[in-house]
Amino acid sequence: MARAGSLTGRIVSAFARTSPAFRPSGDNRAGWGFRQAWMRLAPAFARSPLSYPWGILDLTGADLTGANLTRAHLTGANLAGAHLTGANLTRSDLTGTNLTHANLTRVHLSGALLTGARLGRADLTDADLTHAHLGDAFLGGADLTRADLTDAYLPGARLIRADLTGANLTHANLGGAHLAGVIWSERTRWPTAAWEERMRTASELLPDGRLRVRARGAADGALSFV
């Protein structure tokens, strides 16, 4: 078991004190003690031990399904391949975090800071990304089927070949976003009617009835096709 005084121990202790994810079910008192929290965390990281090279929190492949990590500070953390289905990361700071290939289905990321985060090929099906900050984030090949991106901030985000089937981007800021190869459907909601018209002009119809943004064409000050 990690020692309470180690960096790993301090992280675990912080979770034990502050995160509802590690409180006894139905108990409103203080969180788990260090030992209880570690025993609960250890199985999740059994195949990917916590390590901190250069001070970076390494949670590669960790199982955090359903965890309550509201307002967590995970700046620059490595969560590649992590399992976060249904996790609550509302208003968390994930600036520069590596979430490549992470399972983020039904995750709650409302108001989260994801500036410069790497989400390539992440599964964000049914994710709540309302008011999330995703400026300059990499979402190449990510699955955003039915994701809610209402009022999300995505300037400069790279969504190349991402799947936006049925996604809601109402009032989202997509200025300068890279959208080449993006797949979308008639149920996809774009920021404005003008945006939908531009996207339709720039897209080709696929055999399954969905649409795909062509690699080049119809670029203007609000769209970037590369």
Check whether 186 has a pLDDT greater than 80.
yes
Check whether 1 has a pLDDT greater than 60.
no
In this structure, of 38-42, 128-132, 135-139, 214-218, the range with the lowest mean pLDDT score is: 38-42
- CB of 12 closer than 8 Å to CB of 34: yes
pTM: 0.77
User: What residue spans define the domains of the chain?
Assistant: 1-46, 51-226
pLDDT of the residue at 130: 99
**Which class for 130: exposed (0-12), middle (13-18), buried (19 or more C-beta within 10 A)?**
buried
- CB of 197 closer than 8 Å to CB of 222: no
**208 φ/ψ angles, rounded to the nearest 5 degrees:** -85, 5
Q: Which amino acid is at 151?
A: D
CATH architecture of 51-226: 3 Solenoid (2.160)
**Which class for 156: exposed (0-12), middle (13-18), buried (19 or more C-beta within 10 A)?**
middle
Task: State both tokens at 214.
Answer: 């062509």
Question: Which of 7-11, 29-33, 187-191: highest mean pLDDT?
Answer: 187-191
Residue 213 pairs in a beta bridge with 203
pLDDT class of 46 with cuts at 50, 70, 90: very low
Mean pLDDT of 10-36: 47
